Amino acid sequence: MKKLILLLLVMLFALPGSLSAAPGSIVLDGSTTVGPIAKSFAAYFTKKYHVPVTVSESGSGNGAKSLINKSCSIASMSRVMKKEELDAAKKNGVNPVATIAALDGIAVVVHPGNPVRNLTRAQISAIYQGRVTNWNQVGGPDSRIVVIQRESNSGTQESFKELVVGKTAQIVRTAETQASNGSVKSRIAVTRAAVGFLGMGFVDRTVKPVAVNGILPSVATIKNRTYPVSRPLYFYTNGQPAGMIKQFVDLSKTADGKRIVSELGFINNY
């Protein structure tokens, strides 16, 4: 009995920042963009190591909150943690440490029937701030632009604002807000005048990515950082990962992990 109790304690403390996780299990919460990686890694990990892995996709901001509150083992995030999040973590005895899960490009996408193939970063910024309102102002048809954005808790939304629109700029009030990459894609696929943005792993034939400053998002342009709207995706842990947590976040460095990342349409960092 003493040996069993000791084993359970060892398994518990091998899961930093996971007070709500059952011993021997892993809990992830956070970004919908990182979600496909997290879920595929979870399925692989459970099958190979027989370790239960739970994945929630409540947004990067909520992932950070879950890690700070010690209600998840790993926060999956499509942006870096903010200063106020790091300060809150420190106050709660949590030390967030980031591991890059993959690289991603935020693709600016339109309906496949839209003839526009290229936009400058300045034009996209003007569209999202409401200074450009018709496609004919940027070489397209005479049609009012339907602007699609993500919710404020989205890491993709924050990255897009910082990389394209301007960190302190205000997005036009008429912009439609969608709760996930999937819902953005679905809306644009049926709306000829719409523009939005997606993580590269979500782009398919139902939408058309446009070049930004003449450069299309691709594995090569994201990896060499020539595509202007590129970013890393992260797994955050409480302290340096150890035990099963380390094996999980380090999956992207393995041959199987790299294969999974590539198959999902993301770009390997290692």
Q: What CATH fold (topology level) applies to the domain 2-102+233-263?
A: D-Maltodextrin-Binding Protein; domain 2 (3.40.190)
> How many other C-beta atoms are found inside a 10 Å radius of the C-beta of residue 64?
29
CA 4 to chain centre: 39
pLDDT in tens, 87-133: 999 999 999 999 999 999 999 999 999 999 999 999 999 999 999 99
Q: Rounded mean pLDDT of the chain?
A: 91
Structure tokens at 39: 């879920």
Res 164: pLDDT: 96
For the domain covering 104-223, report its CATH number.
Answer: 3.40.190.10
Res 167: pLDDT: 86
Are both 2-102+233-263 and 104-223 of the same fold?
yes
The closest alpha carbon to 15, from 232, 255, 234, 249, belongs to 249
Res 158: pLDDT: 93
Burial 186-203 (b: 16+ CB within 10 A, else e): ebbbebebbbbbbbbbbb
Q: So where are the chain's domains?
A: 2-102+233-263, 104-223
Given a contact cutoff of 8 angstroms between Cβ atoms, the answer to whether 210 and 116 are in contact is yes
For the chain, how long is the longest CA-to-CA vector? Answer: 76
Give the separation between CA 147 and CA 197, rounded to whole angstroms.
10
Look at the pTM and tell me if it is higher than 0.85: no
Q: Which residue has the higher pLDDT, 10 or 184?
A: 184
CA 266 to chain centre: 11
